[in-house]
Amino acid sequence: MMTAHHSPLPAPLSSLTIHRILLTGARGQLGWELRRTLACLGEVVALDSGTMNLADAAVVRQQVRDIAPTIIVNPAAYTAVDKAEREPEAAHMVNTIAPGILAEEAARLDALLVHYSTDYVFDGSGTAPWREDDACGPLNVYGTTKLEGERAIQAAGCRHLIFRTSWVYGTRGSNFLLTMRRLLRERPELKIVADQIGAPTWSRDLAEATAQVLSQLVSPARDASQAEPWGIYHMTNAGETSWHGFAEAIQALDESDEMDASVHLIPIPSSEYPTPAKRPLNSRLDNGKLERVFGLRMQDWQGALALCLGRC
């Protein structure tokens, strides 16, 4: 994963460089938040699917060359997990081919690539939190294409940080929080899966943690003798719950007037909620490496949810 030819503090990450940061997927949940948090690190060139179509390999390659970034941040992805089962090629283009091209161009420019991946690279067995070097075994097309994207980045030999996260939500886009807030106003009762366990993660916390990592890397205080940090990291809010537990917390914390606190939330097993894509039961990710290498400890998911709901 590491390349030998890079110096410990490579020139493109020097604090003396004015960084040009190419941000993909700037309209997505995470991309939207990154647009703000990355702004303190340099000039952000924010692109969305209308201005950079990641399904068009040749265009992506040319645009990266034209922009010549020092840092590429890629939160864009084909994230429609169930739809990916019937559109594997579209998911493959965006989640595997495009990150590979971004990585090849990053290597060519000596730029850093920051990419995001998922708990769905794991098969969900056991109950222990997954560590970065645990064996992967995705259960669905989305997870497979994301895992292949990680491998394409590693194979390209660029400096890279891959942040695997889980159950992302925020105040915009399509996510469990916003779906629950709507359904809790519409239905007398809701059946929610209670045997998939993971960590709901606020998109803003991910964006802020990303910016903190990058600011450490460009800091003049960074010790040039420190080991190169490139590789995979798990990055989620702390703690764990089920989708049912997440829904209960949303119901308890959402104090808006139209909210009906009497809606009955019924826990069900995954087997009673069949979906085209199979989901892992154990989605716990161990964030220990992020803390050891960058000293970052993510806040717990309940605190993050409360802060996020305060902004809804």
Ligand X SMILES: NC(=O)c1ccc[n+]([C@@H]2O[C@H](COP(=O)([O-])OP(=O)(O)OC[C@H]3O[C@@H](n4cnc5c(N)ncnc54)[C@H](OP(=O)(O)O)[C@@H]3O)[C@@H](O)[C@H]2O)c1
Which residues carry out catalysis? 142
* Site stretch for ligand X (CB under 6 A), options 23-31, 150-158, 262-270, 284-292: 23-31
The yes or no reply on residue 78 touching ligand X (CB under 6 A) is yes
Three-state secondary structure call for residue 132: coil
> Of 169-208, which residues contact ligand X (CB under 6 A)?
173, 203
The contact mask relative to ligand X for 32-51 (x = CB under 6 A, - = no) is ----------------xx--
Q: Which is nearer to ligand X, 15 or 179 (CB)?
A: 179
* Residue 178 DSSP one-character state: H
d(CA 241, CA 195): 9
Q: How many residues bind ligand X (CB under 6 A)?
A: 28
Find the largest Cα–Cα distance for the chain: 61
* Site stretch for ligand X (CB under 6 A), options 74-82, 237-245, 259-267, 272-280: 74-82
Q: Which is nearer to ligand X, 29 or 70 (CB)?
A: 29
Query: Smallest gap, in angstroms, from Cβ of residue 141 to ligand X?
Result: 13
Q: Which is nearer to ligand X, 55 or 190 (CB)?
A: 55
The yes or no reply on residue 243 touching ligand X (CB under 6 A) is no
Helices within 68-140 (DSSP H only):
88-92, 98-109
Strand (E) positions, the chain?
19-23, 42-46, 71-74, 112-118, 159-165, 168-169, 189-193, 197-198, 201-202, 231-234, 241-242, 264-268
Q: Which residues of 154-185 are buried (b: 16+ CB within 10 A; e: fewer)?
A: bebbbbbbbbbbbbbbbbebebbbbebbeebe
Strand (E) positions, 36-166?
42-46, 71-74, 112-118, 159-165
Between the alpha carbon of residue 37 and those of residues 42, 173, 184, the distances in Å are 10, 18, 32
Query: Smallest gap, in angstroms, from Cβ of residue 228 to ligand X?
Result: 23
- What is the number of the residue whose Cβ is closest to ligand X? 28
The yes or no reply on residue 233 touching ligand X (CB under 6 A) is no
Query: Which residue from 37, 63, 118, 241 is in contact with ligand X, where contact means CB under 6 A?
Result: 118
Q: Which is nearer to ligand X, 9 or 150 (CB)?
A: 150
* Site stretch for ligand X (CB under 6 A), options 25-33, 124-132, 178-186, 247-255: 25-33
Query: Which residue from 21, 76, 235, 298 is in contact with ligand X, where contact means CB under 6 A?
Result: 76
Query: Which residue from 9, 13, 23, 30 is in contact with ligand X, where contact means CB under 6 A?
Result: 30
The yes or no reply on residue 106 touching ligand X (CB under 6 A) is no
Q: Which is nearer to ligand X, 9 or 177 (CB)?
A: 177
Query: Which residue from 53, 171, 215, 216 is in contact with ligand X, where contact means CB under 6 A?
Result: 53
Query: Smallest gap, in angstroms, from Cβ of residue 74 to ligand X?
Result: 7
* Residue 200 DSSP one-character state: -
Query: Which residue from 77, 156, 214, 281 is in contact with ligand X, where contact means CB under 6 A?
Result: 77
CB-count exposure of residue 75 (10 Å: 0-12, 13-18, 19+):
buried
Region class of 160: left (phi > 0), else alpha (psi between -120 and 50), else beta: beta
The yes or no reply on residue 165 touching ligand X (CB under 6 A) is yes
Tokens standing for residue 153: 């980045």
Chain residues binding ligand X by CB under 6 A are 24-25, 27-31, 48-49, 52-55, 75-79, 94, 116, 118, 146, 165-168, 173, 203
